[in-house]
Structure 1
């Protein structure tokens, strides 16, 4: 895989992480009545800090798309999971909080887990031609269903308990978006722009991006960054790898030793994500527009 794929992936992760911190700080002050509504995006468009965060995220998404165009989804996704390292760096700068043992432990687990998965699995891409239609649609349908179930469950919980599930649902859709971005890039190379706009994949990219954005901003709005960002960061690469293998035909080593290394690596990375995400340096609190803590009813929803 070209070295620039790694560069695009890591720099893209940097912009994504910085963008998430800025977005959460702005979304935490949005009206709670707008949760899971496109009105939330309209309200946030009036906030300069949120627009700056979105700008960073767009740059990160473009760089991620370049990485996905030149590399395999199963290789690029773990790189994108390092966005939490950069989010942590900005949050630490804002708060002045030291990393401490837990913080450094999270850094080691996340970076070491990603490296172990890469070395053990040695992911390889394919043209996807050997993936049957049934498998293709079954995997896509299952991924969308998981996101939908997470949202439905979240809406039956107290407001303060929703962020991890909403963020996980957004991460699942972002993983799907990454896989569809790779597939769209392949279509563009093979059939040109006319062939691209006459297929459904680029529209799936846009749909997943918009719905995922509403979900993640709702998660940022209703809880602390440490509640939502770990779930988002863990769910995206897992969903992306599933789509890469199930839809695009990516392969990983399947020897007993390799499978053990892959499981340990992914588990370590996810553990590092949650250690970093719950670090005291991460922004906390959900505030109403006037800076006061939002008043909730007995069900944990805004009064």
Structure 2
């Protein structure tokens, strides 16, 4: 379990690094509304964006290692810490500083995740021997829910659009985490067993779709609209997969109060952090507007 926690924390740090690097690259791009091939080609010429892609792959590898060492109910909630790591790294890259509210939110989120994991104490799951019928039902339900939310998002505007797409992306990442868990469980049986598992081929399709969904969610509106759903839907979907498909067990009784308290702390702190100018890029833009000479020198 300790190994799974370590890999999950490192994965959260890698994902945060990727987020900061991609935001740094995106600041040089004009706001064209949606993701396009031309924008991807422009971004691909920037070292910061390439570095972001490399660290995304590193984060994926670390997450896979974490899921190989521990249950999805343990690993996915830890990845919530990515938001706090992103904020801390933003202070270094964009030369800003945290205020009291942001420090409180970072510490509160960390405490909420810790409380959630202690209260859950997941045990008893078996990813390798999960019933095929449960896999199929879980996949169909997840794809349908994510698809409907994406459809609602594209039919909505502004904050509602970003919120719907953010939740859809978060659910999809929970689905890809379940597929990764299935792939890592099959890998324990050797290369032959891995080649014969359908989760591997589903992951090849689901991974790029998740990346595209994420880019659209982040560009659909302000981060304060998309980030909470994106951050919170992932572990919620993972909890559903862990309990309903993999047979993980969590503590009940009075521990439910602690679980609700931990989840509430994470939710409130996520909203607070999503409102931070450091994550939204507003502070960086205002500084550039005030100092155009410094902006030209930086370029």
Relative to the length of structure 1, the TM-score reads 0.84
Q: What is the aligned partner in structure 2 of residue 263 from structure 1?
A: 260
1:1-303 alignment runs, 5 A limit: 1=1, 3-27=2-26, 29=29, 32=32, 35=35, 41-42=40-41, 44-128=43-127, 131-159=130-158, 161-190=160-189, 192-255=190-253, 257-284=254-281
Which protein has the bigger helix share? 2
Q: Distance in 2 between matches of 1:196 and 1:188?
A: 5
Whether contact under 8 Å (1:97, 1:280) holds in the other structure is no
Please, what is the CA RMSD of the aligned residues? Answer: 2.5
- How far apart, in 2, do the equivalents of 1:233 and 1:203 lie? 26
User: Using the alignment, how far apart are the partners of 1:264 and 1:234 within structure 2?
Assistant: 14
* d(CA) in 2 for partners of 1:226, 1:25: 18
CA distance in structure 1 between the partners assigned to 2:174 and 2:95 by the alignment: 32
Could you tell me how far 1:111 is from its partner in structure 2? 0.8
Deviation of 1:272 (Å): 1.4
Gaps of 5+ in 2: 283-287, 290-299
Q: Deviations over 1:126-161 (max 9, x none)?
A: 224775444332222222222111111111122564
Contact 1:18-1:53 within 8 A present in 2 as well: yes
Alpha-carbon separation, structure 1, partners of 2:14 and 2:137: 33
Q: Distance in 2 between matches of 1:62 and 1:156?
A: 35
Q: For the structure 1 residues 201 and 45, does the alpha-carbon distance in structure 2 shift closer, same or farther, using more than 3 Å as the test?
A: same
1:299 aligned residue: none
| Bigger mean CA offset, 129-138 vs 96-105 | 129-138
Unaligned runs of 5+ in 1: 286-290, 293-303
TM-score, length basis structure 2: 0.85
Partner of 1:298: none
Change (3 A) 1:180 1:214: same
Question: CA 1:259–1:38 in 2, change beyond 3 Å: closer, same or farther?
Answer: farther
CA deviation digits over 1:91-142, x for unaligned, max 9? 2234444332321221132111111111111112422477544433222222
Instruction: Give the count of matched residue pairs.
Output: 283
Judged with a 3 Å threshold, the aligned counterparts in structure 2 of structure 1 residues 210 and 42 are, in CA distance, closer, same or farther, namely: farther
Shift of the 41–254 alpha-carbon distance from structure 1 to 2, 3 Å rule, reads: farther
Closer, same or farther in 2 for the Cα pair 1:238/1:106, shift >3 Å? same
The 3 A distance-change label for structure 1 pair 53 and 226 is farther
